[in-house]
Each structure stands twice: as C-alpha cells, then as structure tokens.
Structure 1
C-alpha cells in the first residue's frame, strides 16, 4: 500500500470523524471532537494494518476485533442520571464512527460518506422528532407527601385524570401520619406543567418531587 494512499485515508478519517465529533462537541457530550477523530483514525489504521500484515486467507483478522474493542469505549460514556440512562446516543455515535473508519481503511469511501451523512441526519433532524414526542408523551416519576386523610387518599388519582394524565405503578408508603405516594405518570408536557402548578398551590401537599 503506497504511503500516498495511507495518508489519504488518514486525512479522510480525520474529516469524517471531525464532522461527527463537531456535532457531539456542539452539544457538550462526553465524547466530542477529539475523541471521535481519534476513534475514526484508529479504526482506519487498524483496518489498514489488518490488510497489510494479516494472512492472505484472513485479512480482516485484526479489523474484526475493532467491533469488540470499541464496545468498551462506548460503555464508558453511558451513565445513570436520576431514573434514566444517559450517553447511549453518544455511545452509538462512537460505534458508528468506528465502522466508518473501518470502511475508510478498507478503501470504501462512498460507504463512509453515505454513513456519515445518515449519522448527521439522525443526530440533527431526529432531535426535533424526539422533542415532539417528549412534548406530547412525557413520562415522569412523581412523589407526593401529604397528611393522611380518607378524602385525600385517592384524590390524586382523580387529579391525574382531570389533567389528562395516565398514572401507572402506584405505590404508597406510610410514616407516622404522613403518606408518600409514588406514581409513574404519562402525558403531554403541558398537562404535566398544569398538574405541577396545581400541586404547588395545594396546601395539603407537604412535599413533592418529579
């Protein structure tokens, strides 16, 4: 493999990794510009080395381990925040960037270009779809603490229905004269906002979290 071709592939990997990394850096994600460039360049070099030093019958022997190895890098950016996992999209971006680097290393530039274009489309355009879904179908966990009263005990179930919210997995805990209710609630963002405003103005509610 001539050095001009090697240089061409490395430069192309820097560009592809930089495009994806710039989007992640703009959103202040844990794996940003430098990380994505290094991943893409690393996958490219490993693939080229696999072709150069691999046996004639299995030139993909080294490159095939990239798929396994990149999983450890992706797992490092996934973390639990409150009641949900965060960083999964960035981990998937790392995985895709490595695959694009492999395509570049193998000389399939069009595959890398198309894959990069699709990746940017998903990261940018689909973000608006995510926001629309969250606006119309948001799930929140509510904890409401109040003094026990027979009339108040089931009142919150009625409030959820009044504000067009669906409550699931109701749990109740009692401590002294205080009742702690736990609900997983589904509904539009506006419905949640109105319900929270109602709780703030409710004098019977001693504490609530969401």
Structure 2
C-alpha cells in the first residue's frame, strides 16, 4: 500500500478507516437527533467529525514531514482550534428565553461529534466508538424522561426571569 505522505506517515487504508469511522459514529448520534426532530439533523455531525479528523490527520502528517527536531509544529494546537471552533457552533445552536435554554443537547452532541472526529483522526477509533456509544445510550435512554420537557413550548416559560 502506498503511503499517504512521507516516511512514517499514514497509509491510504489508515486514512480511509479513520475518516469512515469519523463519519459513521457521529452519523448515528445525528440520526438519533433527527428521528427525535431536534433542531440539528445528522449532516452537521458528520461534516464536523470528518473535518476534525481530517485536520488532525493533516497536523500529524505535517509533524512527520518536518525533519527538523527543533521545529515548533504542535499538532495539539489543531485540536485546540477545532474544539474552540466547534464550541462556537454549539453556542449558536442554543438559545435562552427567561430561565429556559433550548438546544443544549444538540450543542453538546455537536461538540462531542468533533471530539469523536479528533479521536478517529488520531487513530483512536476505539475511543471514538466508545464515546459515540455512550452518547447514543444517554440520548436514547433519556428520551422518555425528556419527552415531557421537550413538548413544553417556550411560551409557557416566556414570563420567567432570572
């Protein structure tokens, strides 16, 4: 199998497996949100996770392609940037009216999709799978408990204040 980049770097098979895992695992979380008619469907979950995986793999490739041991290339800065950027996306998914906050579950799910993508991109597919399984378990198991709250309209909370 030919290598993805220079010596000691990812093969095409590794790239495919990591990106496929980064797409599939958050897709399952997004599908759960879609089926429950939440504000964000499965597409952003997949796009965010695949983008995060691609960025971390690119940073790994950059690190391996630099022969200078004095290089200041730090792949963890990519991780920091991805997590910060996804935090802004998640914040945009939430809104508040009085004491009522809506979209926090979608925001947290989006943020976790980014973390799953980062884990898969780093080659820790098992870690991404465990994260996806735990989030799915929580979302599915909590459905009956949150159904009453989800069906409550914001109008009922409009008069509430801090």
Q: Under a length normalisation based on structure 1, what TM-score does the superposition of the two structures give?
A: 0.59
Structure 2, unaligned stretches of length 5 or more?
Answer: 1-9, 64-70, 151-155
Write the mapping of 1:1-210 to structure 2, written as runs, cut at 5 A: 1-54=10-63, 58-81=74-97, 84-130=100-146
8 Å contact kept, 1:24–1:33: yes
**Of Structure 1 and Structure 2, which has the larger fraction of its residues in strand?**
1
Give runs of ≥4 in structure 1 deviating > 4 Å: 131-134, 140-143
Bigger Rg, which one: 1
RMSD: 2.6
Q: Distance in 2 between matches of 1:13 and 1:141?
A: 38
Residue 80 of structure 1: CA displacement? 2.9
Q: Distance in 1 between matches of 2:77 and 2:146?
A: 39
Which deviations, in whole Å up to 9, do the C-alpha atoms of 1:84-118 show, x marking residues without a partner? 11001100001111101110000011111111000
Q: Under a length normalisation based on structure 2, what TM-score does the superposition of the two structures give?
A: 0.75
8 Å contact kept, 1:17–1:97: yes
**Of Structure 1 and Structure 2, which has the larger fraction of its residues in helix?**
2
Q: Distance in 2 between matches of 1:31 and 1:120?
A: 15
Alignment length, in residue pairs?
139
8 Å contact kept, 2:98–2:157: no
Q: Distance in 1 between matches of 2:41 and 2:98?
A: 23
8 Å contact kept, 2:100–2:157: no
Structure 1, unaligned stretches of length 5 or more?
Answer: 135-139, 144-181, 183-210
8 Å contact kept, 2:53–2:121: yes
